[in-house]
Amino acid sequence: MTDTSSQAVQDLYGLNPDLLRAIIDAVDAEDLVRLEALVVPLHAADKADLLEQMGGAQRRVVIEALGPDIDAEILPDLDDAVLDDIRKQLGLETFARLVGKLDSDDAVDVIADLDGAVRREVLEAVPAPERRAVEQGLTFPEDSAGRLMRHDVVALPAFWSVGQTIDHLRSAGDLPDEFYAVFVVDPGHRPLGVIALATLIRSGRQVGLTSLVESEPLTVKADTDQEEVSWLFQQYGLSEVAVVDGNDRLLGTITFDDMVDVLSEESEEDVLRLGGVAGTDLNQGVIDTTRKRFWWLFINLGTAVLASVVISIFEGTIKEIVALAILMPIVASMGGNAGTQTMTVAVRALATRDLTRANGLRVIGKEILVGSLNGVLFAVITGLVAWVWFQSPLLGAVIAMAMVANLAVAGFIGAATPLVLERFGIDPAIAASVFLTTVTDVVGFFVFLALGALLLL
């Protein structure tokens, strides 16, 4: 997308800089009338972005301007810390009323993030029909199909005709706000097939539903992980999938718009975990953010100490040849960067199922060869630099050999570690980088200093 078209989209849909500045000016002036005129026309997602970009005091002014008629659709798009702040400002009754307006899947998403006591209070304040759907959704595991599904699904008996179906859809008052197909079910409420709305509209009133069923619907169990469901949507180009219980009875449906959020969430989660961060924490307090990042940094401290222990073994060698101390970070750094490239590709390929046990050995072999080839190329470069810099061809040979060895090892570790972790049920995005950093540092330092001690002393 060009800069011009990107700006045009931002001006049309998003929070363009001029609008954001005008809103902040109205907030600072506490001009609630102007603030309401600026904020109310925004899309719910843009309102959520606005609230997340503001500090607590500014946010409270905006919520006051929106009043009790605040758009309920804002809530599912809010960061947990911001949502909690807004819940406290709105009060229990207003917050519960807003939650009751949401689709069941969005309501479950909002309430699931609340603490136990607060969750019970909000649930008790939600109207009874909506509460039952939310309580059922909360019984399913986090990040499962049961948490994602909408309970209000259009399910019709197989003996109905198109005419009966259309009359029902026109008169029923409890239909979902948006749906793209209807499910045909047997007397046990098990799905027999799915019919797209476009097919219904084009068919005559006398046509039976069973003759229009396009195929047996693809179903997922309620406890299926959301990552598995998102893969199904991507792999088979689905727009909707039925969620069933252990007896294959229809519970609800997941639509492609729910999957957009899941795909974004899963990709963001992998990126954050590769960086050692559990989740986005822009809106969390200093103490909470510090606590969440501390343990990951503590683990990395342990790996750094291990690398230092390796260096200490060759303390005498380094004292004799100071050039080794100057050059050894190059070997470790290049190994770490090369391994990170491989690891990032491997973690993503595992998520998309492009990397499996079936092709794992072939991919590992390829990455070792790629690492070795890059190692040879950079061995020539770093070897020449070290030779010219320190006027020692033997030193150049040492760093060249160490470079080849470490980049080959980096290719192996970067590809193999995610596969091994996944095999033992450990999320590769969480732990792979720790193993990679440790191995490339230790191997890089050990090989380089050992070769230096062997060939230069």
Phi and psi, residue 166, nearest 5°: -65, -40
Segment 377-402 shows an average pLDDT of: 93
Confidence of residue 1 (pLDDT cuts 50, 70, 90): very low
Full-model pTM: 0.66
Residue 10, pLDDT score = 44
Structure token digits, residue 388: 């010219």
Q: What is the pLDDT of residue 271?
A: 63
Torsion angles phi and psi, residue 391, rounded to 5: 55, 40
289 confidence band (pLDDT: 50, 70, 90): low
3-class secondary structure per residue, 66-130: HHHHCCHHHHHHCCHHHHHHHHHHHCHHHHHHHHHHCCHHHHHHHHHCCCHHHHHHHHHHCCHHH
What is the crossing angle of helices 428-456 and 256-274, to 10°?
30
| Residue 188, pLDDT score | 92
367 contacts 341 by C-beta, under 8 angstroms: no
What's the average model confidence in pLDDT over 23-30? 88
> How confident is the model over 293-299, as a mean pLDDT?
73
Residue 269, pLDDT score: 64
> Across all residues in the chain, what is the average pLDDT?
84
Least confident of 147-156, 252-261, 409-418: 252-261
Mean pLDDT for 60-80 is 85
The beta-carbon contacts of 132-135 under 8 Å, at least 24 apart in sequence, are 133/104, 133/107, 134/99, 134/104, 134/107, 134/108
Q: List the domains of the chain with CATH numbers.
A: 3-142 (1.25.60.10), 155-260 (3.10.580.10), 286-456 (1.10.357.20)
